[in-house]
Structure 1
């Protein structure tokens, strides 16, 4: 069992044991975590970003400890455009796995030749990091810009899946992909986006994690489209990606980057609460945002979502508040007599 990996306190990421290679047999497949029972109403998982400085790293480990104690089914670690965070991603993922936490690595094609990708995959395999989210990736510098491959590189996520499947060293890999409730912004149509997603599932991906969204209907339509297109592969788990809403400015920025929509009634609600001064009314906006995210999560649970995947920005509080509202975590805040799960 994965819990036997932690011979030292999970709060100490600098011990010698933390740097030891992780045997492949001790990483639980993400797709298997979705089949296990959970003490909560539904499994939940979280996304981390590789930290850029010491302060951010300290915040990440604090968050990892908290989510470990809260019972996250798995954690994922993003991979910077063009491989810009590759070393940090690998280092952070390895330490997270030794906490122990089932750890999912994001991997993109941007800036890598096929030969380089093979080398990276072999390195992941040697470290026992066998959970992989196969992505094409965003263009460096401008996530909404034109995507261009490089000579000797691959051009689509399905090619990365095929590459993994062709390598004997990666026989134990459990693959996931991204899916897009409102369609990928580069897809010619919703129908084309559905076809591309199913192609990746047919190629060997076992589940998908969605781009963030703020309208649950879009998630449900995506799930129905995939299952209708291919009743076997299209019926594989679709994990909804949620970002707890904590400010009007941040949610507008995320909507812009993700290419998703903020429902009109939600936009009007936050604008009304802001009353022309978002800074002055920040607490009220945040409270309303957590309430809206909780409503989304409640409906997703009712509709049979296999897991709730929270995009945390390496913070705990907002996600824990949503989980508490769902009856899946202790309360968070001094007014409850505590400010952390410990």
Structure 2
């Protein structure tokens, strides 16, 4: 074993991979698989290795490992109108790339021709694998191009993951149903909805869930109670002005993301409406904007940072399996969502009209 390999085997805390292997009663290769997040390890074995790591206080020496295996480059192809969503995604991805001793490469794209060029730039920059968040995670042309190239890919926050493409997501449909039921439980019946970008599968499912839940409650949703948005703050302003100009006004507005919900609150304030006394406003995602607006926003928490971290781990696992000549796998991981109630929601101020 050369000096760099010995340094990589010895963790930052002094114990070595071989110490961990002996304590757990497994091979050093199995310890390496657990450390790298490889899915081809049984839960029982993983638990034994993790217990040994904790007992010996083993810490991965990322710098030495990077020197031994070479820098691993994770590409991120993005085109998302929500700055808050993108910010949370980038923080999670950067953090986990650091944990894996990987470098994060970013490329923005808009449109099909731009997607092709952005993918080519990432590959030219040496990307070993690519993360694809919304809306590109639903762009079959982009995913087909990546598949033809043979580069490992993970789709992040797609509502309809494709077979053969690894994915990390939440259940957007059930999340939106949960929020709609919550509004109904507060006594709201005259509920309006702001749709997200129609090219995003999460937007499609959130709207469908809202409509299905209202129908189950025996409540019709007139067309004028639904406004089209694009997941941007500006589109939320336009949608809110349309909805709040109606008579009677809705008693609650459910926006497909937090950026648009924040815009609804701003328009309501401009009309001298009190939130939530005159109007309940709810969003989706629980991005930082949810706690920077006033009043703070009731929303569905989508663990964007955790999704990005898991996506990086899955991608790194795929890259290392590819380098080792192992068969390609494309797991789909479903993370939990949470209803977070804050000051922007309250009981209906008036009966349904």
TM-score by structure 1 length?
A: 0.29
TM-score by structure 2 length?
A: 0.28
